[in-house]
Structure 1
Amino acid sequence: MSEEFPAIQGGGSLILAWQIRNKRVLVVGGGEVAAGRILNVLNADAKVTVISPRSGLNPEVVHRIEKGQVTYHDRKFEPSDLDNVDMVLTAIDDPATSTVIWKLCKERKIAANIADVPPECDFYFGSVHRDGPLQIMVSTNGNGPKLASIVRKQIAANLPVDIGAAVQKVGMLRKKLRKVAPDVEEGPKRMGWMSRVCEEWSLEELVEMDEEDMDRLLGFYKPNTVPTFEEVRLGDAAEELAFDGSFGWWI
């Protein structure tokens, strides 16, 4: 019986989409690596503070400061910088100071990432492909950042153009479905029907889907069927439907 279940591999990380909107993130360092870290957390709508002597700032970090996208302090790290902080990212060429920061974070139970020192990291930054709401991260668990980038590019190259738009449209379809079938007890059916749409329609078809297609498609929810994209787009099936104003289209 045990062979029917996945084997435990171990040595991995729990990859999550960490919501840090309005969380206070401290970045210690201002070089190229710090610039990448800053962009990552700004994209997640965090409130970012950068600590670094001005002489060590990367042009991109200077740009973030000048645009007011981060709070900046022109000096070296001080322990008091950890007051009222939710996350710490260090990217400095000073292993001793990095280790001190790491230990202070452990004492205060603050999640931290010490660049290029995997043992001193609560989490890793992977190589991320971003297309609108779609984010795909490849992680090597700190073993090979460059390889992660190569794998990520290969994955992205095989995705349909504008796949992010498909994700947005699926989100819109889900919202429309909730209006068509708002009752709590409809939850399992809604989830199952949406899953079938995503499985039976190709990614390219989801990219091409427009709002009129969505409205036609929703007519098949009550009978719990999923027509093909061609049937919805051509309207062949719609001609066989009657309209029930209390719910929507039904067969």
Structure 2
Amino acid sequence: MNHMFPIFIKMSEISTLIVGGGNVGHEKLEAILKNSPNAVVSVVSIDFGEALLDLAKDFPNVTLHKKAFEFSDLDPHHIALLATDDYGLHVEIQKEANKRKMLVNVADTPDLCDFYLGSVVTRGDLKIGISTNGKSPTLAKRMREFLEDALPNETQQLLDNLRTIRDKLKGDFAFKVKKLNDITQQVFDKKE
């Protein structure tokens, strides 16, 4: 059973550290920036792959530090994503980061993770996170593709309309919830 608690983080209001500038570091940075283009991210690595360099150049809140990792690199950050091929280094960083009350994700090592990066479906303001509890990123990817095909292209228009209706509704909280539930149920009844 998946006991993970899903949250959506305002990545522009915290600071994230990625350790590793190769393919996996690029994958982690790309996932963050795809969902949060204004995320504040520092990447520490002795070397950077071309793909990561190419991606980072278009995002002013991404800072690259071409150097060996030091524990002091953790200081200004809230989250650390570890993306090197050095398991021993990951273990050391994870222990130190946890002492500092930081959340840590270690690429392909679920036992060292405080959180996982799931697959994400986005339609305008609607965002759906998918987690397999670290067991199968491939299944999460397939579920994302399925939901992307299933969600109507008019999702943003529906959200905007519901927001307008919600803002105009009079009555107490319970009335508003019931009314919005009735309206959204009508939308899904039309699909059948």
TM-score between both structures, scaled by the size of structure 1? 0.67
Does residue 18 of structure 1 match 2:4? no
Contact 2:43–2:64 at 8 Å: present in 1 too? yes
**Alignment correspondent of 2:23:** 32
The equivalent position to 1:46 in structure 2, one of 39, 42, 47, is 39
Question: What does residue 75 of structure 2 align with?
Answer: 83
Instruction: Check conservation: 1:35, 1:58, Cα contact below 8 A.
Output: no
1:108-142 CA-to-partner distances (Å, cap 9, x unmatched) read 11011011000010111111111211112221111
Alignment of 1:1-251 (within 5 A): 10-42=1-33, 43-44=35-36, 45-53=38-46, 55-59=47-51, 61-67=52-58, 68-177=60-169, 181=170, 186-202=172-188
Kindly provide the amino acid, as one letter, of the partner of residue 44 in structure 2. I
How many pairs does the alignment contain? 188
Shift of 1:92: 1.0
Q: Distance in 2 between matches of 1:164 and 1:85?
A: 33
User: What runs of 5+ residues in structure 1 fail to find an aligned partner?
Assistant: 1-9, 206-251
Q: If you compute each CA radius of gyration, which structure gives the higher value, 1 or 2?
A: 1
Unaligned runs of 5+ in 2: none
Structure-1 separation of matches of 2:6 and 2:79: 17
| Larger relative contact order (Cα-Cα within 8 Å, sequence gap ≥ 6) | 2
Q: Following TM superposition, by how much is the alpha carbon of 1:34 offset from its aligned partner in structure 2, in angstroms?
A: 2.0
Identical aligned residues as a percent: 30
Instruction: Normalising by structure 2, report the TM-score.
Output: 0.86
Q: Note if contact 1:90-1:115 (Cα within 8 Å) is conserved in structure 2.
A: yes
In 2, Cα distance between equivalents of 1:38 and 1:175: 37
RMSD: 2.2
CA deviations on 1:61-86 (whole Å, 9 max, x unpaired) are: 21243233401111121100111211
Q: Which 4+ residue blocks in structure 1 deviate beyond 4 angstroms? A: none
